[in-house]
Amino acid sequence: MLKYIGKRLLAMIPVILGVTLIVYLIMSLAPGDPARTILGEQATEEQVAQLRSEMGLDQPIIVQYFRYIWNLLHGDLGRSYQSRIDVSTEIFSRFPNTIKLALTASLFSVILALPLGIIAAVRQNTFFDSFSMFVAIIGISCPTFWFGLILILVFAVNLKWFPVSGQVDNFKGMVLPALTLAFNSMASMARVTRSSMLEVIRQDYIRTARAKGVSNRNVILRHAVPNAMIPTVTVIGLRIGGLLAGAVICETVFSWPGIGRLLVQSIQSRNTPVVLGCIIIFSICFSLVNLIVDILYAFIDPRIKSQYQ
């Protein structure tokens, strides 16, 4: 198992290099000049050209890229074109907020989705099943932007139970943004759990367990649920990765100082070092989450564990 983990960690290096190359090329080929964006409309062409030269942007793209990689290997992510602050400082001042939000949202969605999906499958074709899947469809269809504003209006402005936005340092401030993010994830997780459970509870070994007189509760919790978890865990892993990178709208609505909003702002201003820094962090997180999911498979399903040994 350790050998497998080591191999997977080493495999992340080419992944990250590949991602940086692709992003660097896209940012370089996109129209828009970082020097002009920094200097604004008052600057003359000569001043813009001078700044381009000072920033090394007049060099061939490949030279710029390898210089970036060389600095990266020395632990230097560069400086933001806009704020002139170290990219690592910019990113790591916000990254904990993103992690907090993504993990809390994941927790909320798992807590809501698993029971919903399991009960919907066990009570297939009942009112509860229809209701659960109705909630799931609402969750998938509901725009994050709209849902967030409704939560603010109801629970922050009218009931005053939670703050409207910001307040990253207390749990109350995290509830509404995390619920907003969780609602969409919860919906897809619940649907996958339900379909996976439906498939499992029709298997022969479940019928055998029932024939042997095992209680319905034990059949579901000890035999069906663990076997139905593989697709669910896969979806949970993907959703956590997605929440880390894709919380931009939620961060905007709740003015949450996370990394997603920083990334979008940096793309708009052609702030290549910050974009690359964010993408590298996302790549590492996504790879790590996938690795953790693969390791979890082994614990959930002994057949997979035996393949590692």
The site for other proteins (CB under 8 A) is made up of 30-34, 36-45, 47-48, 51, 80, 82-85, 90, 93-94, 97, 149, 152-153, 156-157, 160, 163-166, 168, 252-255, 257-258, 261-262, 265, 267-270
Closer residue to other proteins in complex, CB, 255/290: 255
- Smallest distance from other proteins to CB 67, Å: 22
Nearest-approach distance from CB 74 to other proteins, in angstroms: 22
Query: Least distance from C-beta 36 to other proteins, angstroms?
Result: 5
Query: Closer CB to other proteins, residue 35 or residue 220?
Result: 35
Residue number with CB closer to other proteins (9 or 26): 26
In the complex, minimum distance from the CB of residue 156 to other proteins, in angstroms, rounded to a whole number: 5
Q: Which is nearer to other proteins, 39 or 140 (CB)?
A: 39
Task: Kindly tell me which of 189 and 248 has the beta carbon lying closer to other proteins.
Answer: 248
Cβ of residue 176: shortest distance to other proteins, in angstroms? 11
Which sign does the torsion angle of CA 268, 274, 280, 286 carry?
A: negative
List all residues 6 or more positions away from 267 whose beta carbon is below 8 Å from its beta carbon.
27, 275
Residue 308 CB, nearest distance to other proteins (Å)? 41
Q: Please, what's the b/e burial string for 257-290 (b: 16 or more CB within 10 A of its CB; e: otherwise)?
A: ebbbbbbbebbebbbbbbbbbbbbbbbebbbebb
Distance, CA of 57 to CA of 48 (rounded, Å):
11
Element (H, E) at 19: helix 2-29
CA distance 118 to 24: 44
For residue 237, the minimal CB distance to other proteins (Å) is: 27
Closer of 108 and 162 to other proteins (Cβ): 162
Q: What is the DSSP letter of 155?
A: I
Strand partners, 86: 79
Which one, 195 or 255, has the nearer CB to other proteins?
Answer: 255
Asked if 308 and 298 count as a contact pair (C-beta separation under 8 A), the reply is yes
Q: Cα-flanking dihedrals φ and ψ of residue 79, to 5°?
A: -120, 145
The Cα 42–Cα 49 span in angstroms is: 14
